[in-house]
Amino acid sequence: GENVEQHPSTLSVQEGDSAVIKCTYSDSASNYFPWYKQELGKRPQLIIDIRSNVGEKKDQRIAVTLNKTAKHFSLHITETQPEDSAVYFCAASPDDGFQKLVFGTGTRLLVSP
């Protein structure tokens, strides 16, 4: 089955810096890759996603890139702000007829003022 690895597990940056979180997946048939943000004490919420036929997608300060050949995808946050502090999860959706999501282990991002 699909396996998703996520790095780093923790990331500390200064406000205004960029942050990059990387994920690799194992199932070449996976074709949908969302990123979820979970603030402390709250539920995970989708922040951006990318489909396998797209190499890059951007939404204001966040962007996601996908390399299907290497089976990895990354989240990029520019001009980080303290409110970006949260746990970020990547996920992959195998094309097996079930719409399940397999998640990575999460990255705790801390943005210091």
Partner 1 sequence: DVKVTQSSRYLVKRTGEKVFLECVQDMDHENMFWYRQDPGLGLRLIYFSYDVKMKEKGDIPEGYSVSREKKERFSLILESASTNQTSMYLCASRSRGQNTEAFFGQGTRLTVV
Binding region for partner 1 (CB under 8 A): 1, 6, 9, 31-32, 34, 42-46, 49, 51, 89, 93, 95, 98-106
Of 58 and 100, the one with the shorter C-beta distance to partner 1 is: 100
Cα angle: 95, vertex 98, 103; to 5 degrees:
75
Q: Centre a 10 Å sphere on the Cβ of residue 90 and count the other Cβ atoms it contains.
A: 28
**DSSP assignment, residue 84?**
G
Nearer to partner 1, 32 or 78 (CB): 32
Distance of CA 29 to the CA centre of its chain: 18
- Which tokens hold the place of 35? 């990123």
CB of 67 to partner 1, least distance (A): 19
Nearest distance in Å: CB 80, partner 1 = 22
Residue closer to partner 1, measured from CB, 14 or 53: 53
Place of tokens 């949260």: 86
Would you say 45 or 112 has its CB closer to partner 1? 45
**Measured from the CB of residue 41, what is the shortest distance to partner 1 in angstroms?**
9
Gyration radius (Cα) of the chain, Å: 14
